[in-house]
A and B are shown apart, each in its own frame.
Chain A
Amino acid sequence: NAGVTQTPKFQVLKTGQSMTLQCAQDMNHNSMYWYRQDPGMGLRLIYYSASEGTTDKGEVPNGYNVSRLNKREFSLRLESAAPSQTSVYFCASSDSLSTDTQYFGPGTRLTVL
């Protein structure tokens, strides 16, 4: 099992460009999450999906959109990238919202110039 995979690993964008970060899990988990990690700060939840077909805002959703494409895949889209979105993005999954163990992907390092 690969667990949680993310693509790409690195990306550089110019201000105003758009892109989609991809995430897939092969553990048959119902719930999936997107976080960002900034220096000196803890991980912050951007969006989450309790189950296929549902998505909800987390702590810092502004500037992002998500799609739960199917049970395996959960994508994060930046429509018009800004330098403040320079960060490392992590996708995670868990059995359900009430199950504590979240399994994280390797992350995508995004730089917006």
Chain B
Amino acid sequence: KNQVEQSPQSLIILEGKNCTLQCNYTVSPFSNLRWYKQDTGRGPVSLTIMTFSENTKSNGRYTATLDADTKQSSLHITASQLSDSASYICVLRSGGYNKLIFGAGTRLAVHP
């Protein structure tokens, strides 16, 4: 069973609309949770990082939330732009050698 499950697998929205991506995890304990953005043909780039004690973190139009009780995180994108079209990956850090556990990602397409 995957330790980090993301939903939906893919999503299509219209430009200007908001959307929320979900991440459910079973990793425990963990030191932090990141959301990465991966453009097609590129490597992942870090968007937000939250420690296990934080509830929310924003980066411009991106807002990540973390509920340690339900073991869920979400990434909310406000007023989407065409450039938001990418895969969004939820990543948890666990272990002493910078061990990162990656979700499979949600592929977002923003259409005009």
| Chain A nearest CB, measured from B37 CB (Å) | 11
Docked Cα-Cα span, A43 to B103, in Å, equals: 8
Docked Cα-Cα span, A104 to B42, in Å, equals: 8
Docked Cα-Cα span, A40 to B6, in Å, equals: 10
What is the number of residues of chain B that contact chain A, defined by CB distance less than 8 Å?
Answer: 25
- The answer to whether the Cβ of A42 comes within 8 Å of any Cβ in the partner chain is yes
User: Is the beta-carbon distance between B98 and A56 smaller than 8 angstroms?
Assistant: no
User: Is the beta-carbon distance between A42 and B89 smaller than 8 angstroms?
Assistant: yes
- Residues from chain B with Cβ under 8 Å of A94 in the complex: 98
CB-nearest residue of chain B relative to A94?
A: B98
User: Is the beta-carbon distance between B43 and A104 smaller than 8 angstroms?
Assistant: yes
CB contacts between A and B, total, < 8 Å: 57
Interface size class of A (residues with CB under 8 A): 20 to 34
User: Is the beta-carbon distance between A101 and B43 smaller than 8 angstroms?
Assistant: no
CB-nearest residue of chain A relative to B39?
A: A106
| Chain B nearest CB, measured from A38 CB (Å) | 9
- The answer to whether the Cβ of B28 comes within 8 Å of any Cβ in the partner chain is no
- Residues from chain B with Cβ under 8 Å of A103 in the complex: 43
| Chain A nearest CB, measured from B50 CB (Å) | 11
CB-nearest residue of chain B relative to A39?
A: B104
Give per-residue flags for A41-79: 1 if the beta carbon is below 8 A from chain B beta carbons, else 0: 111110010100000100000000000000000000000
Docked Cα-Cα span, A40 to B9, in Å, equals: 9
Docked Cα-Cα span, A56 to B93, in Å, equals: 18
Give per-residue flags for B1-31: 1 if the beta carbon is below 8 A from chain A beta carbons, else 0: 0101000000000000000000000000001
Q: Which of A96, A101, A102, A106 is most buried by chain B, counting CB atoms within 10 A of its CB?
A: A102
Docked Cα-Cα span, A43 to B34, in Å, equals: 14
The 9 closest A-B pairs by CB, nearest first: A104-B43, A42-B102, A43-B102, A97-B98, A97-B97, A42-B104, A104-B44, A42-B103, A90-B43
Taking Cβ atoms with an 8 Å cutoff, the residues of B that contact A are: 2, 4, 31-32, 34, 41-46, 49, 89, 91, 93, 96-105
Taking Cβ atoms with an 8 Å cutoff, the residues of A that contact B are: 4, 31, 40-45, 48, 50, 56, 90, 92, 94, 96-107
